[in-house]
Structure 1
Amino acid sequence: MPRTDQASRDIPASPERVYAALTDPEALAAWLPPAGMTGRFDHYDPRPGGTYRMTLTYADPEGAPGKTTADTDTVEARFVELVPDTRVTAEIDFKSDDPAFTGPMTTTWSLEPVPEGTRVTFTATNVPDAIAPADHAEGMSSSLLNLEAYLER
C-alpha cells in the first residue's frame, strides 16, 4: 500500500537561502546525505522535466546495506516542479534489482516563511515498502539537520 513519510524543521534562514541550497548540486551533495553517508551527482539539470542521478555511499554498509550495491543507493530522478523560494518536487527511482525498492517515489520540499526563518517540510509519497518507516524518518530528519547546519556556515 502506498505510504507517505514526512519530516519538518524550522530553519533560521530565509526561504531564498533554503531554496538555493535545495537547487545547487554542490550544496545538495554537502547536506542531503543522511548521517553515515556521502553523496555525489553524476549529472544534475534543475528545471521542470530535467533529471539528475545521485549516488549515496554508506560509510558502514554492514549497518545499512545499500539498495543498488552493498554500500550504495543510486537514484535517478526527474524534476516535476521548481517554484522559487516555495517548493521543489521530484520523482525518484532507486536503482535496485529488488522490486521492493522500485518507485517512483515523489519527494517534495516545501518552504514556508516563519518568524524564525523558514519551515522546511520534506514529504515523500509512494515510499517503497522495503524502506523501513523508522529508518526513513531518521534519514529525513538527519537531512533536515544537515541542511540547517549547512546554512549556518
Structure 2
Amino acid sequence: MANSKNSVRLHRVLRAPAERVYKAFLDPDALCRWLPPYGYLGKIDRIDPKVGGGYHMSFTNFSTGHSHSFQSNFLELVPSERIRIADKFDDPGFASGMTKTITLREVSCGTEIEVLHDGLPSAIPAEMCYLGWQESLLQLACLVEPEIPGGQ
C-alpha cells in the first residue's frame, strides 16, 4: 500500500530461506527473471554485487519494444537480513533520489520480506509502482520457493 505519493511499502512471507531470497537480489540472472513487472524483459549490462557497487539494468516492454534504464547502487548489504539500494533512472525526466530498503526476517515457514521504496519521481504514480512490485514479488516467489529434489 502507498505511504504517500512518492513512497510504497510492501510485505510478504515467502516459503524460502532468507539466504535464497537475499541471493535473488544480487544474482544478475535472477534479477532479470523476477524484477521486471509483467510484460517487461530485464537486461543487466554490468553488476558488482557489493557495498559501493551496483548494477545497470533496462526494462523493455515486450509489446512495444520501448525501454528505460536505471542504475542501482548497493548502499547496505547484510547477508540474509537487509539490502539498501539507491536507484537513478538514466532519463533525466525521471530525476529522483529513489531508495529501496529490503528487510528479510526468518519466520517459521520461510522468510518475511518488507520492501520500502522511497523517492519515486512524480512521473511515476505510487499505485503503478505498487502494482509493479506486487507482480515482481509474485515472480520472486516463483523463483525462490520451489524445493527441487536432488538439487537438479
C-alpha distance in structure 1 between counterparts of 2:60 and 2:21, whole Å: 24
User: How many residues are matched?
Assistant: 143
Residue pairs, 1:47-86, within 5 angstroms: 47-61=50-64, 71-86=66-81
List alignment gaps of at least 5 residues for structure 1. Answer: 62-69
Residue pairs, 1:119-138, within 5 angstroms: 119-138=112-131
Among 97, 103, 124, the alignment partner of 1:104 is 97
- Other-structure match for 2:12: 9
- Are the equivalent residues in 1 in contact too, given 2:6–2:126 (CA < 8 A)? no
Q: C-alpha root-mean-square deviation of aligned residues, in Å? A: 1.6
C-alpha distance in structure 2 between counterparts of 1:56 and 1:6, whole Å: 22
C-alpha distance in structure 1 between counterparts of 2:70 and 2:111, whole Å: 27
- Are the equivalent residues in 2 in contact too, given 1:92–1:106 (CA < 8 A)? yes
* Percent identity between the two aligned chains: 34
C-alpha distance in structure 2 between counterparts of 1:152 and 1:111, whole Å: 15
C-alpha distance in structure 1 between counterparts of 2:72 and 2:99, whole Å: 9
C-alpha distance in structure 1 between counterparts of 2:115 and 2:128, whole Å: 15
Q: Give CA deviations for 1:92-131 in whole Å, capped at 9, x if unaligned.
A: 0011142xx1122001111011222111112111111111
Which residue type is aligned with residue 8 of structure 2? D
- Are the equivalent residues in 2 in contact too, given 1:2–1:126 (CA < 8 A)? no
Offset, 1:152: 3.0
What TM-score do you get using the length of structure 1 for normalisation?
0.87
Q: Give CA deviations for 1:62-106 in whole Å, capped at 9, x if unaligned.
A: xxxxxxxx71120012110111000111110011142xx112200
Which residue type is aligned with residue 71 of structure 1? H
* SS across alignment from 2:50: coil
Among 138, 142, 150, the alignment partner of 1:149 is 142
